[in-house]
Amino acid sequence: MTDKKKISPLMFLPPLIFAGLAVLFYIGVTRDDPNALPSTLIGREAPAMQLEPIGEMTLLKDAVLREPGVKLVNFWGTWCVACRQEHPQLLHMANELGLDIHGVNYDDTQARALAYLEREGNPFSTLGEDISGRTKIDWGVYGAPETFVVDGKGVIHLRYAGPITDKVLNDVILPAIQAASR
């Protein structure tokens, strides 16, 4: 008498799940920039902004994003260590390279933002405070700093999460600005 054991199809499930996860991880780490966070806004018109003025500074309004020329929108806060590291680069980009940078301060207070910009310098052409958090959500901002390259029609060409360094400026931001200006 022979004893035939039935092989359950469920026995193959763990190796199949493992193989599927391995393929997903492989695809994730072989992307051009595995640290880049994707954005559904690339190629789309910038979302509306719901910002409050900061002191006497010119308020960043939606119409500014549709004015001619390429501009950067930088989400930042004084509480953000990476934003503080990036700040000298933003000053360089605005003052020496003549780039048009617009700031969105969030999860912060007006007093702290004003004091910081007074002490460290202000790279922003216009500035607004995202008190409600709605603008941050609508733009898909995960954290600070995040910088967007926007063309003269208000279309987003790039989202960069993290501080802008010399390498990022030369390898990512400037090429995106050049592409957005066409």
**pLDDT tens digits for range 112-133:** 999 999 999 999 999 999 999 9
Residue 37 in 3-state DSSP? coil
Percentages of the chain per state (helix, strand, coil), in multiples of 5? 40, 20, 45
Give the residue numbers spanning the domain of 86: 62-180
Residue 6: inside a domain, yes or no? no
> What CATH number should be reported for the domain holding residue 128?
3.40.30.10
Residue 147: inside a domain, yes or no? yes
Per-residue pLDDT tens over the stretch 61-95:
999 999 999 999 999 999 999 999 999 999 999 99
DSSP one-letter string for 132-177: SSHHHHHTT--SS-EEEEE-TTSBEEEEEES---HHHIIIIIHHHH
Structure tokens at 44: 């789309």
Residue 99: inside a domain, yes or no? yes
Per-residue pLDDT tens over the stretch 54-65:
999 999 999 999
Residues 6+ away with beta carbon under 8 Å from 160 = 146, 147, 148, 149, 168, 172, 173, 176
Residue 101: inside a domain, yes or no? yes
Residue 48: inside a domain, yes or no? no
- Kindly provide the b/e burial profile for residues 60-89, where b requires at least 16 CB atoms within 10 angstroms of the residue's own CB: beeebbeeeebbbbbbbbbebebbbebbeb
Task: Tell me how many domains the chain contains.
Answer: 1
Per-residue pLDDT tens over the stretch 130-170:
999 999 999 999 889 999 999 999 999 999 999 999 999 99
The pLDDT confidence band at residue 30, using thresholds 50, 70 and 90, is low
Helix (H) or strand (E) holding 110: helix 110-120
Which of left, alpha, beta for 15 (phi over 0: left; psi -120 to 50: alpha)? alpha
Per-residue pLDDT tens over the stretch 7-28:
777 777 888 888 887 777 666 5
Q: For residue 3, which amino acid is it?
A: D
Residue 70: inside a domain, yes or no? yes
Tokens 């806060």 correspond to 77
Residue 122: inside a domain, yes or no? yes
Average pLDDT of the residues of the chain: 90
Whole-number pLDDT of residue 40: 80
The pLDDT confidence band at residue 34, using thresholds 50, 70 and 90, is very low
Residue 116: inside a domain, yes or no? yes
Whole-structure pTM value: 0.80
